[in-house]
Amino acid sequence: MKLRRYEGNPILKPKPENDWESEDVFNPAVVYDEGLFHLLYRGVGRDGISRIGYAVSMDGFNFFRFDKPVFTPKLILEPRGCEDPRVVKLESRYYMTYTAYSERGIRVGLAVSDNFISWERYEAWWPEMDNKDAVLFPEKIGGKYVLLHRPTREGERMGIWIAYSNDLTEWYGEREIMAPSEEEGSWESEKIGAGAPPIKTEKGWLLLYHGVDEDKVYRLGAAMLSLEEPEKILFRHPDPILEPEADYEIRGEVPNVVFTCGACEVRDKYYVYYGGADSVVCVATVDKEEMLGDFLI
C-alpha cells in the first residue's frame, strides 16, 4: 500500500513577497472541519526563524493562504522559532502542539485557539531535556489526555513515547512504545517520530509516522494502536507508505525528505499533508479501505 501523490504538487511554495515565508514552507498540520481543510504550516524567512502560517481550502488541494503568520515566536520561550505544528480539534477547540526552539534546546509547545488565527499558549511542564514530534490524540482516552512525543538524548536512538495528563499541564506515565528498527539497513533504523495526530478507525488508532535511515532519508510509515490502550501497538507496517521520489522531495533545503504533521479523513479517503525536502508543502491520498485493509489485525 502506497500513498498517491497529488499531480499538482507542491500545493504551497515559498512566497518571496512575504519575508517570513520567503525561503521555505513545509511540515503542515491539517484539520477538516465544517467542510473546510484548515492548514497550518511552518514558514521560514531570510532571518532563518520559523513561524506558523495558515491556509484554507474547500477541496484539499487549492488553498487560500494568509499573508501574515498566525503564530510567531515569543522572545523568552522560543526566540529561535516555532516549528512543525500538529493540530487536533478536541472538546470543540483547536489544540496545536509545536516544537519551541530556544537557546536551551528544543521543547514541546502547546497552544489553543477557537479560530486558527488567535492562539493562547499553555504553560505545560516537561523535564529539562530536548523533546519534539509531539501529537495529541483527538479525544480523551480513559478520561485522560494522551500525547505522543520523542525525547532526545545524545548518543541514543530514540523512538516514540507516550504521556498522559488530566489538565494538559502536568504530564506523567512517560515511556517508549515504539523503537527504531534493529534490522540492519532498515528504512527506520536511525530514529522514528510521530507524524500526524492519530486517526480513530474501527481497527484502532491509525498512526502515521516518519522513519529515518542511516543515510538520513526520511520516509513515512504507518502503525495501528489499541483504541482503549494506545500504548499497545497492534500492527506496524513493515514497509514505508511514502518515500522521496519526486524532484520536490529529493531536492531542497534538506534533500530526501517526506515529513508529515497532518492527515484527515474525508469521504472515505485519507488526505496526508507533508513537507517535501523541507522546502514545499505537498499532499498525497489513499482510500480508507485500501489503507486499513493492509493492517493484519
Q: What is the DSSP string of 142-156?
A: TTBEEEEEEE--TT-
- Supply the pLDDT for residue 104: 84
Number of domains into which the chain is organized: 1
189: CATH: 2.115.10.20
Cα separation, 250 vs 67, in Å, equals 28
Give Cα separations from 9 to 60, 103, 193, 262, 272 (angstroms).
12, 35, 24, 16, 12
Residue recorded with cell 528544543:
106
Q: How many CB atoms lie within 10 A of CB 4?
A: 13
Query: Phi-psi region for residue 66, left (φ > 0), alpha (ψ -120 to 50) or beta?
Result: beta
Cα separation, 218 vs 253, in Å, equals 13
* Alpha helices (runs of H) in 207-253, residue ranges in sequence order: 247-250
- Supply the pLDDT for residue 156: 75
- The structure's pTM equals 0.97
- Report the candidate in 145, 150, 142 with the shortest Cα–Cα distance to residue 126: 150
Q: How many CA atoms lie within 13 A of 177 on its CB side?
A: 26
Residue recorded with cell 481543510:
37
Q: Which domain holds residue 212?
A: 4-293
Cα separation, 86 vs 69, in Å, equals 16
- pLDDT one digit per residue (tens) for the chain, 297 residues: 799 999 999 999 999 999 999 999 999 999 999 999 999 999 999 999 999 999 999 999 999 999 999 999 998 889 999 999 999 999 899 999 999 998 888 999 999 999 999 999 988 777 778 999 999 999 999 999 999 999 987 767 789 999 999 999 999 999 999 999 998 899 999 999 999 999 999 999 999 999 999 999 999 999 999 999 999 999 999 999 999 999 999 999 999 999 999 999 999 999 999 999 999 999 999 999 999 988 876
- Supply the pLDDT for residue 262: 98
- Supply the pLDDT for residue 36: 98
